[in-house]
Amino acid sequence: MSDVPREVVLVRRGTYHDSVTLMRVSQALSGLPGVTSAMVAMATELNVSILRELGFSIPESDPGDLLIAVRASDTETAVEEADRQLTASRRSDPAPEHQPPLTTRSAAREPAGLVLVSTPGEHAFAEALDAVEAGLPVMIFSDGVPVWQERLLKERAEARDVLVMGPDCGTAVIGGVGLGFANVLRPGPVGVVAASGTGAQQVTSLLDRAGTGVSHVLGVGGRDLSVEVGGLSALRALRMLDEDPATELIVLVSKPPAPEVARAVEESLGRLRTPVVRALLQEGAPDLTEATEQALRALGRPVPEWPSWPSWPGGRPPAKTIKGVYAGGTLGAEAAMITGTGDVVDYGDDAYTRGRAHPMIDPSLRVEALSHTQDTDVVLMDVVLGHGADPDPAASLAHAVARAPATVVVALIGTEGDPQDLHRQAAAFREAGAAVFTSNAEAARHARSLL
């Protein structure tokens, strides 16, 4: 058989698999002998554009179709392997003794403390509403939910006296149990209300490093403090933590809220008995690291030096340009604010995750971005550890860092208890030539110092 690569693109009409499964199948195909390029993905606009950039000719397809694109010396074997893995992912376990609930409404009739919704965004509202109407709090991991649906859902939750976390709530910790992307955190006196998943992970990881734990982390979704939503979930979450005897101090994490919402939040804070530290990313306000340090001082606890490995071998000429390649939107916004650059891309934004796994799971888009930094002197990026995230981000990203034309500065967000082993990850990125910081703000200031 000829070793000259051949190309095949198959369209499987109306065939759905979740993005994490498709990412793993794509990675498996890419590792086969003779395969030079492979991608198995839903035919969303983003995925089709990526395949075209890779040189594939894409037949007519709809977003609900599955694409199998392979360039290999033996495309038939590669496609057979793709089908084998996709079929294996669909195999069900032996039938249970009792039929499990088939809908959120029927599941809510059984004893439950919380409902977690993780479906395509266009279907999340109905499931979340069923949970709210049953009087249960709900965490909506899904993104792509229209803002009017979010407002309506939170108004219904207010009437039912329950909390809605999300949509696009990536991180929560309830009574020590992590949901979504969650670091391994020790229990402690700090409660967090967060309109930012990675912002909450930064604050809680630094607290953990300082020996201080958390009671709960209540994510409310990145749009909650917008004028359209009005901070409904944030206000409820603040009241809940104020009533929690295990919470001695609250940290409120968010990008800048709408002015009228900020006023409502400030009025609410004045009625709380529990002190609140504000970690709102805006000019003149503390960054996430400084807010964490304020929280520690308020509790009467020492502020440690945040671990960093800032130097690399050899000299570099002074830098002129900085580019941010981020998985966390709030971390990217913080980096932009500190460095003064507008060239920060949030690959965790809805535009990049529709039909794809989040970049904290799937590194491929950022690996590609790192290879196209010829016109950039410094690349600033985050790597977020914890449950739900890539089990070994350095395995793919460190190689991309080593090959990148630019100098790379990494903000490594995580704790020593995380399964990826923070120190091993730091060592891998250092060996690849990057400067590594556990504080995103310090990473951004270091990148700025190179200009």
Q: What pLDDT, on the 0 to 100 scale, is given for residue 91?
A: 64
User: Whole-model pTM?
Assistant: 0.85
Residue at 88: amino acid letter: A
Rounded Cα gap, residues 430 and 444, in angstroms: 17
Identical fold between 105-298 and 308-449: yes
Q: What pLDDT, on the 0 to 100 scale, is given for residue 99?
A: 67
**CATH no. for 6-90:** 3.30.70
Structure tokens at 359: 């970049």
User: Which residue bears the tokens 């830098």?
Assistant: 319
Beta pairing partners, 278 = 252
CATH class of 308-449: alpha beta
Structure tokens at 404: 């990148």
Please state the φ and ψ torsions of residue 308, each to the nearest 5 degrees: -155, 155
Q: What pLDDT, on the 0 to 100 scale, is given for residue 93?
A: 46
Averaged over successive runs of 10 residues, the pLDDT of the chain (451 residues) comes to 77 85 85 88 87 89 90 90 86 58 73 85 92 94 93 96 95 93 96 96 98 98 96 98 98 94 95 97 92 98 95 66 95 96 91 83 91 91 96 94 94 97 97 97 95 85
Report domain extents, the chain.
Answer: 6-90, 105-298, 308-449
Structure tokens at 346: 């949030």
Handedness of CA 395, 172, 411, 142 (dihedral sign): positive
Handedness of CA 95, 97, 99, 105 (dihedral sign): negative
- Is residue 380 a contact partner of residue 443, using CB atoms and an 8 Å limit? yes
Structure tokens at 136: 């249960």
Angle between helix axes 329-339 and 288-298 (nearest 10 degrees) is 100
Handedness of CA 162, 163, 166, 171 (dihedral sign): negative
Rounded Cα gap, residues 417 and 113, in angstroms: 26
DSSP labels for 278-347? EEE-STTS--HHHHHHHHHHHTT-PPPPPPEE---SS--PPP--EEEEES-HHHHHHHHHHH--S-EEET
- What is the homologous superfamily of the domain 105-298 according to CATH? Succinyl-CoA synthetase domains (3.40.50.261)
Q: What pLDDT, on the 0 to 100 scale, is given for residue 107?
A: 74
Among candidate residues 46, 168, 68, 177, the one with its CA nearest the CA of residue 118: 168
DSSP labels for 198-257? HHHHHHHHHHHHTT--EEEEEE--TTTTSTTTTTHHHHHHHHHHHT-TT-SEEEEEESPP
